[in-house]
Amino acid sequence: MLHRFAPWILPAGDLAAVMLFVIIGQRDHGLVNEARPALGVLLTTAEFAGPWVLVGWRLGIYRRSEPFSVRGLLGRSLTAWLAAAPLGILMRALVLGRAVVPVSFIAAALVFGGLFLLGWRLVFALAWARWRTQAAAGPS
């Protein structure tokens, strides 16, 4: 049954990871839009998730290749994040109308955003590998 939903699990988890990163970042830095908190979270999530999905798709982070490799998935994911994060940072700066992006924001977005995405993807990869092993072994 898990295999049927597999194409949607990774993108949904990616969006959830980016959204959690945004929610925590906005809360910790007092940037929550009090009038419309959900709208602020959704817009900021889109600023990072958009480049992530586009760059990631191009670099094969959603490829369904067999044999599945945890290392391959994480390697492609890291490469995609290192390419997509600067684009997300630039989009965020443009939306906020900032000509200069603080180095601390760049570092935090790269490191913490990457930890959220790669952490989620590691959990997925390990669960998927375990499920595939159990499915190959057959019913016990």
**Alpha-carbon span 100 to 72, nearest angstrom:** 35
Asked whether residue 13 is domain-assigned, the answer is: yes
| Chain mean position to CA 50 | 10
Asked whether residue 1 is domain-assigned, the answer is: no
Asked whether residue 139 is domain-assigned, the answer is: no
Q: CB under 8 Å to 28, separation ≥6 — which residues?
A: none
Strands (E) across 15-97 are located at none
| Residue pLDDT, tens place only, 45-70 | 999 999 999 999 999 888 776 556 88
Across the range 82-104, mean pLDDT stands at 92
Asked whether residue 98 is domain-assigned, the answer is: yes
Across the range 11-35, mean pLDDT stands at 89
Asked whether residue 140 is domain-assigned, the answer is: no
| Residue pLDDT, tens place only, 64-83 | 765 568 888 899 999 999 99
Domain span at residue 15? 7-133
Task: Please tell me the predicted confidence (pLDDT) of residue 6.
Answer: 67
Count structural domains, the chain.
1
| Chain mean position to CA 3 | 21
CB atoms within 10 A of CB 25: 19
Query: Three-state DSSP class for 119?
Result: helix
Share of the chain above pLDDT 90, in %: 54
